[in-house]
Structure 1
Amino acid sequence: MAEQELPLRGLLIDLDGTVYHGHRMIDGADKLIRMLQDKQLPYLFVTNNSTATPGVVAERLQAMGIPAQAQDVCTSAQAAASYMADNHPNGRVFAIGEEGLQTALIEAGLQLVEENPDIVVQGMDREFTFSRMAQAVRFLLAGASYVLTNPDRLLPTAEGFMPGAGSLSAMLQAASGIEPTVIGKPSAILMDFALNKLGLKAEEAWVIGDNPMTDIAAGHAAGCKSVLVLTGLATPHNYQQLLEAAGCTADVVLEDLHSLHTYIGDKLASHQLTP
């Protein structure tokens, strides 16, 4: 595709499939992040994962050899908590989710309750029960708002795929007839939250990711430029079909993280990028 000159002052970088696979770093991820740090180019790791706190995510990255601190990580749980705090200050929240979501809600000043909530927020919950589902449906039918951290229906694991937050949401939607406000990719809400953390406008940031349906579509929805790396879901053989299915285009398509490293480095050296 024809290359465009892309203004750049920061990066929103996907994790699974872009920086790592499971517990294995994708080749070149460590060198890419160190280069961004050396060049003082701001970035955030932006993930749909709502189960872990930013600190836990950073520790996982460090264990793979990728430089990371908690402040470098932006999760759908944080964005969901911020969204609810903005729209329901001190709101009463019935939460279906794990530590990452629970912690984000408390830090945002929201009240975790088991009865009469203003909002039902749902993320990934590996201890989800029928009883919990019945409670949530009852609250939704009584008028509580419904917020979904992320719509991912399947999650990759070392043992294969497992149901994700989107699969749990499918049950709640089928039972209640109520559609949620979606926070995570491909929604722009998570991207807007990350941009605000970086203090950047959408046109100043690139979204880096391997999944056209989530990463590239979210960048498009938020008004960011996007770089598709063929390191995960998208491959040299299927990326065009995936982009077509997602109904969007990537501004740049690169084979791997080494190519991305070189691309950014060359642009910085030629002053086409302005961090």
Structure 2
Amino acid sequence: MSEREIKSWLTDMDGVLVHEGTALPGAADFVKRLRDKDVPFLILTNNSIFTARDLRARLASSGIEVPETAIWTSALATAQFLHEQIPGGSAYVIGEAGLTTALYQAGYTLTESDPDYVVLGETRTYSFSAITRAIRLIDGGARFIATNPDVTGPSQEGPLPATGAVAAMITAATGRKPYFVGKPNPILFRSALNRIGAHSEFTAMIGDRMDTDVMGGLEAGLQTFLVLTGSTRPDEVQGHPFRPSRVVDSIADLIDLV
């Protein structure tokens, strides 16, 4: 597959830059090269738990220095999307500070009474009573939004149920499917491109998952690079009906393209 000139970069975080708080091979050097050459870039993550400030500190502790403005989360993209849909609206939120802060800063009122939206994000403490309230509000007419479709998330003990799994439970109870804003929805990639003033034709996406990073990047018109330091194993690539532009061992193999 021919590769176009790359003038800007989007990259996933977990599995590409870091794993369990440790920088992956080449990650710090890749980001430093981008910053030294003043190349536009943005780090995309479906994680809606943390604020961009939290994630900047987390990356810094692993030796990767980026400004807060270089991080774009599914929570920030969800808040922007809702602001564009219903400015100054209201939402009942299941999630952590990353999501509630983003919605608050977008001018949203957080309420349990007759909200415009039920917004489901990721949390390590899903409450049965909160899920029950979400179901009743959706039955009452609230629109259903979720930050991302990931059904599991990583932890040191093994996989945890994530936003997509809880969304499926709410869908089963209400018959209403959510609109997922995060990867692989191209709307997340387009909002990222707009933030850095980039054009899809000259932008590349680096990810470790075929079903979110590569598929979403392809649908947004980007070149896509799959790294094998995260979720997708080499033998799994062939099973998908689409292919990345290139498969590499790690982000270290892409430094010379910057």
Identity between Structure 1 and Structure 2 (%): 37
The alignment partner of 2:238 has SS state of helix
State how far apart, in whole Å, the 2-side matches of 1:258 and 1:51 are: 28
**Is residue 152–residue 167 contact of structure 1 (8 Å, CA) maintained in 2?**
yes
- 1:128 equivalenced with 2:126 (yes/no): yes
**Is residue 237–residue 243 contact of structure 2 (8 Å, CA) maintained in 1?**
no
Q: Residue 170 of structure 2 aligns with which residue?
A: 172
- The offset of 1:239, in angstroms, is 2.7
State how far apart, in whole Å, the 2-side matches of 1:236 and 1:260 are: 18
- The offset of 1:261, in angstroms, is 1.1
TM-score, structure 1 as length reference: 0.91
Which segment drifts farther, 162-171 or 73-82? 162-171
Structure 1's 14 and 142: CA in aligned 2 closer, same or farther, altered over 3 A? same
Match of 2:251 among 257, 263, 268: 257
- 1:18 equivalenced with 2:12 (yes/no): no
**Is residue 236–residue 255 contact of structure 1 (8 Å, CA) maintained in 2?**
no
State how far apart, in whole Å, the 2-side matches of 1:10 and 1:141 are: 43
The alignment partner of 1:172 has SS state of helix
Match of 2:86 among 54, 74, 88: 88
State how far apart, in whole Å, the 2-side matches of 1:89 and 1:191 are: 21
- The offset of 1:258, in angstroms, is 1.9
State how far apart, in whole Å, the 2-side matches of 1:127 and 1:212 are: 28
The alignment partner of 1:160 has SS state of coil
- The offset of 1:236, in angstroms, is 3.4
Code of the aligned partner of 2:252: H
- The offset of 1:125, in angstroms, is 2.0
Q: Residue 73 of structure 1 aligns with which residue?
A: 71
State how far apart, in whole Å, the 2-side matches of 1:159 and 1:138 are: 33
How do residues 106-185 of structure 1 correspond to structure 2 at under 5 angstroms?
106-185=104-183
- The offset of 1:129, in angstroms, is 1.4
Code of the aligned partner of 2:242: C
**Is residue 42–residue 71 contact of structure 2 (8 Å, CA) maintained in 1?**
yes
What is the RMSD computed on CA atoms of the aligned residues? 1.2
Which segment drifts farther, 126-135 or 81-90? 126-135
- 1:240 equivalenced with 2:238 (yes/no): yes
- The offset of 1:39, in angstroms, is 1.5
Q: Residue 217 of structure 2 aligns with which residue?
A: 219
Aligned pair count reads: 258
TM-score, structure 2 as length reference: 0.96
Q: Which runs of 5+ in 2 are unaligned?
A: none
1:175-215 deviations in Å (ceiling 9; x for gaps) = 11101111111111211111111111222211111111110
